[in-house]
Amino acid sequence: MIRLYDPRLDQAEVVRLIRNELIPLSHTVHQLDAQTIRELPKRFRRGVTYVASLSKKSPPVSFIHFEVMGEVLYLDMMVTHPDHRNRQWGRKLMAHSEAYGRTQNCKVARLFVDQVNDKAHHLYSKLGYHTVRYYPDLRCYELLKPLTPP
């Protein structure tokens, strides 16, 4: 099921997913970067987070965090636990996020994916995202997808 993030139920597992699955792919953040971890609750309060869980009270197996910035839906982070990959959680979370963006009159979705994260890049391409730029200093790609019909 897809539900809104509840910090009391979900924070510990979401932070663990970020620390173990997302940060190791990043060129700019180290796994033991205490400041990055400390700032996560503030970051989550700035946007919307959906989690995928097996029941209403079970820990998340996947999550997505995003923010609306004017007419842009900025997809900030998405992670799925390795034991739960290839079950369409990422696809479902992306669909929920994009639907939310459309209700907020967003015209485009924007995200960044690390150069080494080929599986994520492939997923986003299948979902209609197009690579528009590569940032060599960050070792990541910027991808965009229109959220309104042409």
Mean pLDDT of 30-35: 55
Range from 21-30, 69-78, 110-119 carrying the lowest mean pLDDT: 21-30
Other CB atoms within 10 A of residue 10 CB = 21
Q: Is 128 left (phi over 0), alpha (psi -120 to 50) or beta?
A: left
pLDDT of residue 124: 97
Q: Are 7 and 41 in contact (CB under 8 A)?
A: yes
Mean per-residue pLDDT, 13-21: 90
Q: Say yes or no to pLDDT of 29 above 80.
A: no
Edge-to-edge order in the sheet of strand 108-114: 2-4, 48-53, 60-69, 72-80, 108-114, 140-146, 130-135
Tokens describing residue 58 = 């079970």
39-41-47-51 Cα dihedral, nearest 10 degrees: 130
Backbone dihedral angles phi then psi of residue 91, each to the nearest 5 degrees: -60, -45
Q: What is the mean pLDDT of residues 86-114?
A: 97
